[in-house]
């Protein structure tokens, strides 16, 4: 009799266990996200924090970042790289190249087109019942007096993303705001790199942890 109870308990337990669906999170973005899955990257760090908190049964994290991507690159590859994988949550982290490529290649994204393709990406996610989390682009240069060449344009595109988040009633990881606040306090020599990035754009260890902290907190709140 005890044995039967034990068996039932085990069966029920494992049933309960296998029933709990993991929340599948895809990080969708550019090179910053591509590097996020490397050792020390922000996605790797989120995964570690998740495990350390004993929540690894509840979350699954995947990176879908490709260097140089702009919003319409995300749009063009989202069927294959995101929708086909049936995520529950997609964290969209894009905007740096939409601004940067204006001077680097002459192929940045017009602000109105940035908004249109961003909305088109969100519409496709919404149609599948996938939650979207939006991020503003952190920095191109870490000077803290708004004298990095792309600061104005980054602020403009961040405003667009903030407005899209509001319109669509979506969660926003306002990395741009967080980075600016941090740099005002923690970049006394007004250096253009080596505070949270190693090259003005891509995250060093501190930057990866900084993003991981912000995103992990937000993801748990969903």
Closest approach of a copy of itself to the CB of residue 15, in Å: 45
Distance from C-alpha of 183 to C-alpha of 179, rounded to nearest angstrom = 6
Cα dihedral: 128, 45, 94, 67 (round 10):
-110
Interaction site with a copy of itself (CB under 8 A): 72-73, 76, 101-110, 113, 116-117, 120, 141, 145-156, 158-159
Q: Which is nearer to a copy of itself, 105 or 222 (CB)?
A: 105
Q: Which is nearer to a copy of itself, 109 or 208 (CB)?
A: 109
Q: Which is nearer to a copy of itself, 41 or 141 (CB)?
A: 141
Closest approach of a copy of itself to the CB of residue 113, in Å: 7
Q: Cα-atom radius of gyration of the chain, to the nearest Å?
A: 20
Closest approach of a copy of itself to the CB of residue 187, in Å: 15
Closest approach of a copy of itself to the CB of residue 105, in Å: 6
Measured over the CA atoms of residue 134, residue 140, residue 146 and residue 149, the dihedral's sign is negative
Closest approach of a copy of itself to the CB of residue 153, in Å: 4
DSSP class per residue in 154-208: HHHHHHHHHHHHHHTT-EEE-HHHHHHHHHHHH-TT--SSSSSBSSSSSB-HHHH
**Residue 60: burial class (beta carbons within 10 Å; 0-12, 13-18, 19+):** middle
What distance, in Å, lies between the first and last C-alpha atoms of the chain?
A: 44
Q: Which is nearer to a copy of itself, 83 or 120 (CB)?
A: 120
Measured over the CA atoms of residue 160, residue 64, residue 21 and residue 218, the dihedral's sign is negative
Closest approach of a copy of itself to the CB of residue 130, in Å: 22
Q: Which is nearer to a copy of itself, 40 or 111 (CB)?
A: 111
In the block, tokens 């702009």 appear at 70
Q: Which is nearer to a copy of itself, 45 or 70 (CB)?
A: 70
């Amino acid at each position: 009799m005890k044995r039967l109870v034990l068996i039932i308990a085990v069966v029920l337990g494992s049933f309960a266990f296998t029933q709990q669906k993991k929340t599948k999170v895809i990080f969708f973005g550019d090179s910053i996200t591509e590097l996020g899955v490397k050792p020390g990257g922000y996605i790797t760090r989120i995964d570690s924090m998740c495990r350390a908190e004993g929540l690894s049964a509840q979350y699954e994290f995947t990176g879908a970042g490709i260097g140089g991507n702009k919003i319409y690159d995300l749009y063009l590859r989202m069927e294959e790289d995101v929708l086909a994988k049936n995520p529950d949550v997609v964290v969209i982290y894009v905007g740096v190249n939409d601004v940067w490529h204006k001077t680097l290649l002459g192929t940045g994204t017009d602000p109105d087109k940035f908004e249109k393709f961003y909305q088109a990406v969100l519409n496709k996610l919404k149609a599948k019942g996938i939650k979207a989390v939006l991020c503003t682009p952190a920095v191109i240069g870490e000077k803290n007096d708004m004298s990095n060449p792309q600061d104005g344009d980054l602020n403009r595109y961040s405003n667009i993303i903030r407005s899209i988040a509001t319109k669509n009633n979506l969660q926003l990881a306002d990395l741009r705001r967080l980075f600016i606040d941090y740099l005002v306090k923690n970049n006394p020599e007004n250096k253009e790199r080596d505070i949270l990035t190693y090259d003005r754009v891509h995250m060093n260890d501190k930057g990866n942890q900084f993003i991981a902290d912000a995103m992990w907190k937000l993801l748990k709140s969903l």
